[in-house]
Amino acid sequence: MNMNHHSKERTLVVIKPDGVQRSLIGEIIKRYEQSGLKMIAIKMLLPTEEMIESHYSVDPDFKKKVGTKAIESYKEAGDKPPSDDPETVGEGVMNRLKNYMTCSPVVAMVWQGAHAVELVRKATGTTEPRTSDVGTIRGDYVLDSYSMADSDGRAIRNLIHASGNVEEAEKEIPLWFDKKEIIQYKLVQETILYDVNLDGLLE
């Protein structure tokens, strides 16, 4: 299969410090593994604040976007945002993320397969665990909300980072993994997932 085949799509997953501390590493990996995706890299590490800044700056508008969203959630909760400037609020979110993401080790992984980005996001659930669907990892295993995180002045604890789109994934992966840490190999199940002719199964 050529390198541009659908089955070669890749995504970055990081089990955040709360996922590790809640003993959910195995459960989280199981969810992605059972979907048919292939793990092609994994490691445990303690991120630095610089890594977290680079990671969330892959989208140059991250602070502005996240600041705009955060201002809305403050207003929805009937609270006054710390500032009306999205960049300033976004800078605050970034600082809280740095604090959260460097408090304990994380587990970083690359998953590969058809629709990897979309399927991982679907299994992970939406950003705020309070409103994530039942059946998703965030919906099933954690209870945090924007309102609680904002009123306590901390990052929302949502167990996982998963790339938002293919472009983001391809920019994020090299920040976390050297090329030599990513292994190209065949899983036997790929025959039944992707083969067109399905020959070679019967003896």
Q: By C-beta, is 60 or 200 nearer to Mg ion?
A: 60
Q: E strands of 9-119, at which residues?
A: 10-15, 38-45, 106-112
Q: Is 158 in the site for ligand GDP (CB under 6 A)?
A: yes
Region of 22-30, 39-47, 158-166, 169-177 interacting with ligand GDP (CB under 6 A) = 158-166
- Give the DSSP H/E element, type plus range, for residue 161: strand 160-162
Region of 3-11, 36-44, 66-74, 80-88 interacting with ligand GDP (CB under 6 A) = 66-74
- As a whole number of angstroms, the distance between CA 200 and CA 203 comes to 7
Q: By C-beta, is 16 or 38 nearer to Mg ion?
A: 16
Report the nearest approach of ligand GDP to the CB of residue 7 (Å): 24
Strand pairing report for 160-162 and 10-15: antiparallel
**Contact between residue 36 and residue 189 where contact means Cβ atoms under 8 Å apart:** yes
Q: Is 146 in the site for ligand GDP (CB under 6 A)?
A: yes
- As a whole number of angstroms, the distance between CA 20 and CA 44 comes to 10
Taking CA atoms, 86 is separated from 62, 110, 178, 199, in Å, by: 10, 31, 34, 57
Q: Which residues between 115 and 174 bind Mg ion (CB under 5 A)?
A: 164
Question: Taking CB under 6 A as the rule, which mask of x and - marks residues 68-97 in contact with ligand GDP?
Answer: -xx--x-------------------x---x
Q: Count other Cβ atoms within 10 Å, centred on residue 43.
A: 12
Paired residues of 42 in beta bridges: 109
161 has catalytic annotation: yes
Q: How many residues are recorded in the chain? A: 203
Report the nearest approach of ligand GDP to the CB of residue 155 (Å): 5
**Contact between residue 171 and residue 177 where contact means Cβ atoms under 8 Å apart:** no
Q: By C-beta, is 7 or 155 nearer to ligand GDP?
A: 155
Q: Is 154 in the site for ligand GDP (CB under 6 A)?
A: no
> Applying CB under 6 A, which residues contact ligand GDP?
66, 69-70, 73, 93, 97, 127, 146, 149-150, 155-156, 158, 161, 164
Question: Under the rule (CB under 5 A), what is the footprint of Mg ion?
Answer: 164
Please list the active-site residues: 161
